[in-house]
């Protein structure tokens, strides 16, 4: 199980590398989509597509997450939105930033 950590409000470009059962790079079939999600079982709080091997979380995505330990997964879906596989999952820890706004 992987553990990812981020400070609330930070951006994150997460490289996602998937391989097939033979160890070769996984290439989604026509219409398939790879999605990175954060939340709790049954409650997705953030979901972003994995495009060209990367999931990009914005400031807005992480700023709305309260400091806590969440779950994350990377899932592959068919064009009709049926689940194909969940190849990556783990914990997603959001830490509180000490200084939310620049104050000098």
**Topology of 2-95 in CATH?**
Immunoglobulin-like (2.60.40)
- d(C-alpha 47, C-alpha 40), whole Å: 12
Per-residue pLDDT, 104: 57
pLDDT at 97: 83
**Cα separation, 104 vs 102, whole angstroms:** 7
What pLDDT sits at residue 22? Answer: 86
Those residues of the chain that have pLDDT short of 70 are 1, 100-104
CA distance 74 to 94: 18
pTM check: above 0.75: yes
Domain boundaries, the chain: 2-95
**pLDDT (0 to 100) of residue 101:** 66
Q: Which residue has the tokens 């000098």?
A: 104
Q: Are 15 and 54 in contact (CB under 8 A)?
A: yes
The pLDDT value recorded for residue 103 is 58
The helix or strand, by DSSP H or E, that contains position 59, with its residue range, turns out to be helix 59-63
């Amino acid at each position: 199980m992987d553990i990812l950590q981020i400070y609330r409000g930070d951006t994150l470009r997460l490289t996602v590398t998937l391989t097939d059962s033979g160890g070769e790079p996984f290439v989604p079939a026509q219409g398939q989509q790879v999605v990175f999600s954060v939340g709790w079982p049954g409650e997705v709080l953030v979901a972003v597509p994995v495009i060209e091997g990367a999931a990009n979380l914005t400031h807005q995505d992480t700023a709305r997450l309260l400091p806590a330990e969440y779950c994350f997964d990377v899932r592959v879906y068919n064009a009709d939105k049926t689940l194909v596989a969940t190849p990556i999952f783990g914990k997603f820890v959001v830490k509180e930033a000490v200084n939310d706004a620049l104050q000098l």
